[in-house]
Each structure stands twice: as C-alpha cells, then as structure tokens.
Amino acid sequence: MNRVILTTGGTGGHIFPALAVAEELRARHPAIELLFVGGTRGPEGKLASQAGLAFEALPVAGVLGRGWRALGILGWLPRSVVQAMGILRRFKPDVVLGLGGYAGFSTVLAAWMSRIPTAIHEQNGFPGMTNRLLGRLVRKVLLSLPDERGFFDPDKVVYTGNPLRQAVRELRTIEPAGESPRRNVLILGGSQGAKAINQAVLESLDGFQEERISLWHQTGPADLERVANGYSQAGWDKARVEPFIDNVAEAYGWADLVVCRAGATTLAELTAMGKPSVLIPFPYATHNHQMLNARHLEQAGAAMVLMESYLARVQLWAVVKDLLDIPGKLRDMSKSAWELGRPDAGAAVVRELEGLVHGT
C-alpha cells in the first residue's frame, strides 16, 4: 500500500479520526504517501497542514435533507466530482477512505466511479446522510458503534471503534485506577465550547467551591471572557479556564470525572482511558446522534446522561458531588468505560484498508 486518500471535513469529530488514521498509516508504512481531501470552508485544511499532510480542497456544501431533490447538490456535485476525478488521476491512490461529512462525498463517489477500492468510517450511532448514501457503494463500512438500527449491509460492516491520536492512546493503563482521593472535574464543551454547559458551571461555582472540587474548564473561544469573569467574581483563582485545551491527554490524565458533550471522538477518548463522565448531549445535533452516542455509554454503566433542558432545573455541582461521594461509583463507571474502549481502532481501520488493497 503506497498511496492513500483520506477525505472528510466540516467538524473535528470527522477530522480528528482521519488524522489518527494517518498517524497509524505512517507508523505501519513509513514510506506511504497520504493526501487529505476536504472542503474549502471547514478547518480540515489547517489541521491537515499542522499534521504534515498534503491537502486538496473541493467546492462542496451540506447534504442534509430527504431524497436527492432535497440534498441541494446539483449546484456543486458535478463540478466537485470532476475535480475529484482529476485528483485521483494525479495521485493514483490504492484506496480511498471517507470519514463522513459533506466534504468527503465527492471524492468517495469519484473513487467508486473509477473502480478504486473504497471504504467509509462512521463515528456516530446515527450515521450522517453522506455515509448513509455512500454505504451502498463502498466495499467496507467501518463503524465506531454497533449498527443497531441496520443502516448498512451487514456483509460490509466491520466494528473497528473510533481512531484516536497516539498521545491519547498512551494514557490507557492496563486497567482503570481505583478510588482517588482527588476531586478533579474536567469540563468540556467540544472544540467550540458549549454555552449552556458553561452557564450551568457558573451557576454552580459556589457549590463546587464549598465541596472542594477542582475544575479545569474548556470554554470555547467565544465564551472565554464571560466565563473567566464569572470565575473571578466567584473568587476562584486556581481553576484552569481556557478557550481550548491543546494537551487533551494531560487534561484527561488529571481528571477524575469529565462533564462534556457526547461527540464521537470525545466518547472514544473517554472509553479508551476509562474515564467516568456526565454527558450532556448537544440537543441540536443532526438526527440527535449525540443522544444515541451517550445512551450507549449510559447503558453500559460508563456514564450518566443529563439532558441540556434539565440544566435549568438541577444544580450541576450537586450532580457531580453525588457521583464523587458514592463509594465505588466512579471506580465502577471507570471500569465500564475502560471495557468499552477500543484503543486499537486506528490499527483496525488500517488493517481493513490493507485488506482492500490486497484483495483479502
């Protein structure tokens, strides 16, 4: 396997698994040539460049809706597919992997039309429109979560888990830790933050302080000033309040409990490291996929799910305190999360790509 195209974009939930696959491909095939194909509007170009990946952009738009007439694709799809065909002719990939998001649609479609081996990877419990359409065409459908609703042909499906970056995988221990005397809580709202979670934390600062609960809080850039002022007004001078946590591995290692959204990459990180969590799914996620993701962990005993609409009725600090104070609760949640973890997901994805190239 000499040349591979990874194609996706739009959000970190699609892009970070692609970068993790690239990392694994380079580890297993040091001389491999990789190309990341994405859109012109998302952050994928910048992130690919930071990872040292060659990048090509296509003109694309969203593909949400019912039926082909509702996709709104006629304005951009033909031109995008033609450009993707040109990329394929120049780069000559052995295999193309799409990881969801509108930015990968044209490239995978063009590869299928060109009879190049193709696969997709779906991170969420409810697949997006792009992957639901492409799943009918590609040779392999790689999943982070079981396909409980039967969206894809079972003969194509391989449950790989969600690929993670090496820095995160390295934090996974042989087994989860026992009881901790610390009371460290990590607050995450995804890469863009979550204003509702931020507000719930601000309203609970007195309670957190009274219970001697330490906080590390990712606010998102847009809400940093407001949240930082809230901490200052409450007399907090030791909490770590940041717009974005660059070293997420350090943050997870510090935390005893994580309060966060239920994006696929976040949940893969939580389970890989056996971190118990309070999950607050983003209520406006497409097809409510974050709720489906969260319920998967809750049913396994790895997390507590708290709907965003409940934040106005409950005190977040009290929810956290109850989990911290129940003997053995975090230990049991941690063990359940750890058992769900798939730190080898990147390697599993690469093995499937190798199989496609070699016809196995």
Check: CATH 3.40.50.2000 for 169-340? yes
- CA distances, 151 to each of 122, 132, 143, 169, 249 (Å): 11, 7, 11, 29, 33
Q: Rounded to whole angstroms, how far apart are CA atoms 117 and 82?
A: 18
Multiple choice CATH, 3-164+343-358, 3.40.50.2000, 2.60.40.420, 3.30.565.10, 3.40.640.10? 3.40.50.2000
Model-level pTM greater than 0.75? Answer: yes
Residue 26 near residue 68 (C-beta atoms within 8 A) = no
Q: Which residues make up the CATH 3.40.50.2000 domain(s) of the chain?
A: 3-164+343-358, 169-340
Reading the chain (360 residues) residue by residue, the pLDDT tens digits are 999 999 998 777 899 999 999 999 999 999 999 999 999 888 999 999 999 999 999 987 665 554 554 455 666 788 999 999 999 999 999 999 999 988 899 999 999 999 999 999 999 989 988 999 999 999 999 999 988 789 999 999 999 999 998 878 877 765 665 566 679 999 998 666 689 999 999 999 999 999 999 999 999 999 999 999 999 999 998 899 999 998 888 899 899 999 999 999 999 999 999 999 999 999 988 889 999 999 999 999 999 999 999 998 999 999 999 999 998 999 999 999 999 999 999 999 999 999 999 987
| Largest distance between two CA atoms of the chain | 64
Mark the binding-site residues for UDP-N-acetyl-alpha-D-glucosamine, compressed into ranges.
11-13, 124, 165, 191, 245, 290
Strand-strand pairing, 184-187 and 257-260 = parallel
Q: Which two tokens stand for residue 266?
A: 């976040």
Edge-to-edge strands, sheet with 140-143: 54-58, 33-39, 3-7, 95-98, 118-122, 140-143, 157-159
- For residue 150, the tally of other CB atoms under 10 A from its CB is 8
Mark the binding-site residues, compressed into ranges.
11-13, 124, 165, 191, 245, 290
